Amino acid sequence: MDEEAQVVDAHGGAAPRAAVETQALVKHFRSRNGDVEAVCGVDLRVDAGGIFGFLGPNGAGKSTTVRMLTTLLSITSGTARVAGVDVAGEPDEVRRRIGVALQEAGLDPRQTGRELLVLQGRLFGLSSRDAAARAGELLALVELEDAADRRIDGYSGGMKRRLDLASALVHEPEVLFLDEPTTGLDPASRLTVWEEVRRINRRGTTVFLTTQYLEEADQLCDRLAIIDQGRIVREGTPASLKAELRKRRGLAEEPTLDDVFLDATGRTRGRVAGDVQEVAA
């Protein structure tokens, strides 16, 4: 872990600084049919310097939680601090410290990749010259130099994801939120994004990653939490979660993260297979 991510705790020992900390975080949406409780009292602590995986089935509250942490959704009740800053109280300060790449690669299709990155740099307070230089660095980092001056509407899905990642890094954020960054990508593009995420993390950025791909969480994350129906139902390292399930169930072989997920969310392989068949039909 990064030395800068260590702070001295109340007992004089070194405790990791929290990149994300929530207490009793709640989000209600009003609808015609009454209130919908999308997130119901989430307590989370993500240490600085790692890659944190946030898993859950569709509609579990992953994206809603991320949108609250990134200032894009109001918080109904509870508190959230990101990079040490209160999200509800100082949203602009949080925005300066985070990078955001959401489910839809949020790009302006009528700009070129370079124009988009330069604009993003300007919006984070860089001078024109510095924004241009930073755009060049990032285009090299995500290997989009050849396509830099082409309009984004001509990019492939993988190129858009990489550009979206680059745009989230313009201001060298302390915490990077990635909401399902590989959904819809082919296997090769997915591996490229994984490598980018590891590289970003090695440079000292804490990564908060939501994903539905358990293999992705297993490959990338130091720690993870599983959310279901708006509540955290498991939290720990992938290894500790597997070990806990193996011990509790008395399994002969080490379970996979899929088994942990199915156990945590009360689903069974049969039911999941049924769900898939239903979708395919």
Partner 1 sequence: MTYAWALGRRALREAWRTPDAMLPTLFIPLFFLVVNVGQAARIFPSSTTDFLEGQGYGAFQLPSSLLLAASFGTAALFLVEEIEGGYFDKLRATPIPRTAIVLGRLIAELAKGLLVAAVLVLVALPFGISVASGPIGFVLLVALTALWSVVFLGFMQLIALKTRSAAATNSGGLVFFPLLFLTPNFVPRDLLTEPMEIAATLNPVTYVMEALRSLILEEFDWGNILPGFAVVIVLGALMIALNVRTIRRYD
Report if residue 144 touches partner 1, rule: CB under 8 A. no
φ, ψ for residue 266 (rounded to 5)?
Answer: 70, 20
Q: Among 16, 43, 88, 124, which residue interacts with partner 1 (rule: CB under 8 A)?
A: 124
# binding residues, partner 1 (CB under 8 A): 30
Return the residue of 122, 150, 198, 267 that touches partner 1, per CB under 8 A.
Answer: 122
Among 5, 19, 105, 207, interactor with partner 1 by CB under 8 A:
105
Asked if residue 98 binds partner 1 (CB under 8 A), the reply is yes
CA pseudo-torsion sign 163, 164, 169, 174: negative
Check residue 73 for interaction with partner 1 (CB under 8 A). yes
The residue among 108 and 137 lying less far from partner 1, judged by its C-beta, is: 108
CB of residue 74 vs partner 1: minimum separation in angstroms? 5
Q: Give the one residue of 103, 212, 229, 256 binding partner 1; rule: CB under 8 A.
A: 103
Residue span binding partner 1 (CB under 8 A) among the ranges 114-122, 230-238, 239-247, 251-259? 114-122
3-class DSSP state of 6: strand
> What φ, ψ does residue 103 adopt, rounded to 5°?
-50, -50
| Contact between 111 and partner 1 per CB under 8 A | yes
Contact call for residues 142 and 196 (beta carbons, < 8 A): yes
* 95 near partner 1 (CB under 8 A): yes
Q: Pick from 23, 74, 240, 268: which binds partner 1 (CB under 8 A)?
A: 74
Query: Over the range 189-220, which residues count as b (16 or more CB within 10 Å of their CB) and which as e?
Result: bbebbbebbeebbeeebbbbbbbbbbebbbbb
- Residues 233, 63 contacting (CB under 8 angstroms): no
Which residue from 22, 63, 71, 182 is in contact with partner 1, where contact means CB under 8 A? 71
* Pair of tokens at residue 243: 């070990």
List Cα–Cα distances, 60 to 6, 55, 122, 232, 281, in angstroms.
Answer: 32, 9, 36, 10, 23
Tokens 């299709």: give the residue. Answer: 109
Chain positions contacting partner 1, by CB under 8 A: 70-74, 92-93, 95-96, 98, 100, 102-111, 115, 119-120, 122-125, 151, 167
